[in-house]
Structure 1
């Protein structure tokens, strides 16, 4: 059990709290209660502030929606990237054919950019060809 669970367990019952504070002086107990009340006030203020921010944001959204309705604009008018969708990359894939140093033919599927197998890179350097010269099929 971690410390937070232990504290919550002790403070969740009046009987356990009496046992916990049995040997504590009244002044010390009053000081603890005062500090707990201060923490409670701070927590309430933070929650209220967060709720006010959410409410202000909702009000702004409503104003913007109203303006959009008045102008006849919809979310779709902004395009697909405006609503948080990622634009898909359209990378064409090809089947390449090449020969290694020993003369064996190999095939590799990939694109015109990015990393390629070391054997293919060596073939391109050795022959001085471009990747596009080795394309045998578009996928």
Structure 2
């Protein structure tokens, strides 16, 4: 049981409240009640503000609905007008790379400067210590 549930359980019955405050002076009890009333007033004020915000939204929605009906527009019409944004394409520049296999054959490979490489090309780069861009065929 968490603290809030425990407090709620203790304060939910007059008998439990009496036993809880049996050794408390009347002045202390009045101070506690006054503070609780202050907290209650704050909670009620916050609830009223939220209700006002909700009511303002409802009024705005009703006004928008009225404008739409005056102009003959429905929610379906709004959905039909949505234009899909074109998909962004990755702009990856492709190169033709030229390298030699261990057998001495010259091979050309088309690809980018990032990503995985053919095994032979990777072995060539490791063997020679070159970078990919050093192998671009012109």
TM-score, normalising length: structure 1 = 0.60
| 100 and 9 in structure 1: CA distance in 2 versus 1, 3 angstrom threshold | farther
Structure 1 runs (4+) deviating above 3 angstroms are: 74-81, 86-92, 98-103
For structure 1, list consecutive stretches of 5 or more residues without a partner in the other structure. 106-111, 130-139
Describe the SS at the equivalent of 1:49: helix
For structure 2, list consecutive stretches of 5 or more residues without a partner in the other structure. 102-106, 119-124, 126-130
| 2:99 and 2:135 in contact (8 A); partners too | no
Aligned length: 113
1:10 aligned residue? 10
CA-atom RMSD, angstroms? 3.8
| Equivalences for residues 1-139 of structure 1 within 5 A | 1-75=1-75, 76-77=77-78, 79-80=81-82, 89=87, 103=101, 116-119=114-117, 125-128=133-136
Describe the SS at the equivalent of 2:22: coil
TM-score, normalising length: structure 2 = 0.60
- Residue 2 of structure 1 and its aligned partner are, at CA, apart by 3.0
Q: Distance in 2 between matches of 1:101 and 1:3?
A: 72
Q: Distance in 1 between matches of 2:20 and 2:100?
A: 83
- Residue 8 of structure 1 and its aligned partner are, at CA, apart by 1.7
Q: Distance in 2 between matches of 1:99 and 1:71?
A: 62
| 1:100 and 1:119 in contact (8 A); partners too | no
